[in-house]
Amino acid sequence: MAKRVRAVDPWKLKRWYKIVAPRIWDEREVGETAASDEKLLYGRTVEIPASMLTGSIGHAQYLVRFQIRQVVGSEARTEFVGYELDRAFIKRLTRRHSSKVEHVFDVTTRDGHVLHVKAITWTAVKISNPKKTAIRKIMQEMIEDRASKLGKDELMKEFIIGDLTQKIAAETNKIAPTRRVEVAKVRVVSAPSEEAKEAVAEATA
């Protein structure tokens, strides 16, 4: 008679880890994940509404992505890799008899990260192509300038909180009546080399 083998529940072999946001967000716990080996956690991505970070329901439309880069004890520590404005929210902002001015470009932050950015300005009225070009120039120049002064995480936080986009709206309003400006999408394209990180650390010390 064959010996009966008792099945082992694979979940009982796994350990739970707290997923924590980067330091700029006070290392808040943003979720949990399980793994049988902590090495399997590296590279996992978690997506959460920014309201979990800011405590404000007004930021729920930003879907922020973090990637697990380090495991310390029962904590899975993450790094920001991008965010995207909810598509339904974008659709609600887009109205007839007005213009939606989009612009996609790359910026380099003070700490050497290259970010792929999509910025949008919504105007209150239909505007001409030359005015759209002028608005795109304002968005790019102001975001590039701010990126040169801030690290990756600082810049991302400023995008979500809305301080920079309000300043951009004040400038684009000089071109055409502006209803809203948003940095609708951000993706980390590349990180600086270790040598570049050391150079930045020395420059800011």
At 62-117, the pLDDT tens digits run: 999 999 999 999 999 999 999 999 999 999 999 989 999 999 999 999 999 999 99
Q: Which residues contact residue 38 at a Cβ distance below 8 angstroms, ignoring those fewer than 6 apart? A: 15, 17, 71
DSSP state of 113: -
Q: Which residues contact residue 201 at a Cβ distance below 8 angstroms, ignoring those fewer than 6 apart? A: none
pLDDT in tens, 43-75: 999 999 999 999 999 999 999 999 999 999 999
Q: Determine the Cα–Cα distance for residues 124 and 131; give it in Å rounded to an integer.
A: 13
What is the pLDDT at residue 193?
A: 72
Rounded to 10 degrees, the C-alpha dihedral 90/95/101/105 comes to: 10
Domain ranges of the chain: 14-85, 87-204
Q: Where do the H-state alpha helices sit in the chain?
A: 51-54, 87-93, 129-147, 152-161, 163-172, 194-204
pTM of the shown model: 0.85
CATH for 87-204, among 3.30.450.270, 3.30.479.30, 3.10.180.10, 3.30.200.20?
3.30.479.30
Instruction: Tell me the CA distances in angstroms from 164 to 64, 127, 147, 158, 186, one per residue in order.
Output: 18, 23, 11, 6, 14
